[in-house]
Structure 1
Amino acid sequence: MQTRRIGPFEVSALGLGCMNLSHAYGTPPARKDAAAVLNGALDAGITLFDTAALYGFGANEELVGELLAMHRERIVLASKCGMHGVDGQRVIDGRPETLRASCEASLKRLRTDVIDLLYLHRLDARVPVEDSVGAMAELVRAGKVRALGLSEVSAATLRRAHAVHPIAALQTEYSLWTRNPEIAVLQACRELGVAFVAFSPLARGFLGGRLRDVATLEPKDIRRAMPRFAPDNYAANLKLLDGFEAEARAMHCAPAALALAWLLHQGEDIIPIPGTTRLAHLHEWLAAPQLTLDAGTLSRLDALINRHTVSGPRYNSATQAEIDTEEFAN
């Protein structure tokens, strides 16, 4: 497995997003299947594991802590604070006292004395980012966290936060069908020396090519509330897959590996963190760091799937109001 840098850490070029194992995409897998995914990632040389207090309202951190504690020195463990479950509801809370308490709870669930990379999961519009990051910086000084990150924030917010404490990583959705980081935040990361961690790099499963009928999604699958997965939009988006899968066949790889290879080619500072509930899917990804895409392939992929060809915004209006990332003008 090739490696890339996040702050003081050398990590695998692909990380593992652990959310799917406990949260958001319908019924979580059985524990043995989740264990197979985590152990398979370790065996494949993946060293960056990404979880959050929100995922399963603590259940994902408990799962990761239980299954990876014996491998703690082999991995870079990332988690998130500032968005968690309260009485069964998702709450954004960036107050310093909340972040301190969240970190303590995460440390216990993860069965570790220190979190390598702690992200502010969402910007709390009621709390200056300087206050939230200032509290997280105190956790670094206390030896409970090694490096700080931000999730779903704008370039301006990144700069404000970085002025308080060095930010090692910024995490935002990035894939062929979500190009928002290209507006400003990628450039800001590069100016400040901040690694870019790409979540949902397979377009929430779309680029894997297996989801053909959104009616099969479970009732609690978060994609049911995402405009791109609304029946009419998804029917239009499916038409993009024929050309994409033809490119994958030409490269003799799975569509998921091609999607990740495209991301890896966007810069040495980009680390995708795909997630899955199935070991077989993880094995499909592993070719991505070894794939070399020539200029013609990159150009065709860019022209095929981009913000102009994809139907529907990535979030509904209520979710969009909660995030700080830049949006393209209509």
Structure 2
Amino acid sequence: MILVLTYSMYEQCTDPVVDWLLEDDIPFFKLNLEDLVTKKVSYCVDVINNDILIEGKSIKDAIDVIWYRRFYSILDYIRFDPDDTILEQVNEEADSEIKTFLEYLKYFFESKIIMPQMPAYGENKLIFLDYAKKAGLSCPQTIVTNDKEELINFYNKNNGGIISKPLYFSNYYVKGEETYSIYTTTFTEEMIGKAPDKFFPTLFQEKVSSIHEIRIFYLDGKIFSTAAITTSSDKNIDIKLNYYTDHIHWVNYQLPQDIEDKLRVFMKSINLNTGSIDILKTEDGFKFIEVNPVGQFLAPGNYGNYYLEYEIKNWLKHQLEKYGSVKKVIEYIN
């Protein structure tokens, strides 16, 4: 059986795959993160005897393949007054409790077929860049610094063209009817001038002059590439800000064979069997930017008619047929 681990808020990629699992009568069990912290599902994790029971039934031997989609998210377990420091601390500690529990679940299921596999060294952009470089991919000059003088030196070395972006991930900030988000930002001389001598450690990269950006969905050696062709010279540095404009067009794209081969070497080196990869096409070639193990794939899949939700279903089905046991599923259902 397939175990689908996901969460309900802002996760649009799970259900299209689940629809195909239903269409093909493929046995699966879907578990949302919220189910673990609410009273919707009854479960028991027997740590010493290495077993997990859901609604009184053991699923340890029934599960063969696991697909997870952003299974972890910060939840508000307790609604509290921002001025009440005690309740705020309780909420933070509850979040740590759930994190620890989820880490154990990953450990518990590590012998199963998992997509995505846990990447080597975790989801770390800086380590991924190092492995991409080792695989022969060209990468932008990158630093992390807390020092204004170092930032000025980096700015000058890159002829006044640098950007800043989060080291890991930035979620949406919701305040009333307004929603805010952090995007990749061009860091100007004026911004550097306003920066203090010492600041919070920040990621800076050279600003790559690109012809177009290429979004790649990688699935166990298969590569599906889509290029964003921008017909305006006034394009934003973060392509997400161009999504709903009239001057962006998505087309299928064939990467050179040597770039695809290097991407396969890179993904294997970090132990990832799937992920969404960003690459920039430049005058000189291609620049690797980053990989997101659980990146959004519906939009580029739809633009290129790749039907990626169907490809994922087929991958899960193949793994289940290869490693699963129909007998175990029947025993679980009965």
Shared fold per TM-score greater than 0.5:
no
More helix by share: 1
Q: TM-score, normalised by structure 1?
A: 0.29
What is the TM-score with the length of structure 2 in the denominator?
Answer: 0.28
> Whose Rg is larger?
2
In terms of fraction of residues, the more strand-rich structure is: 2
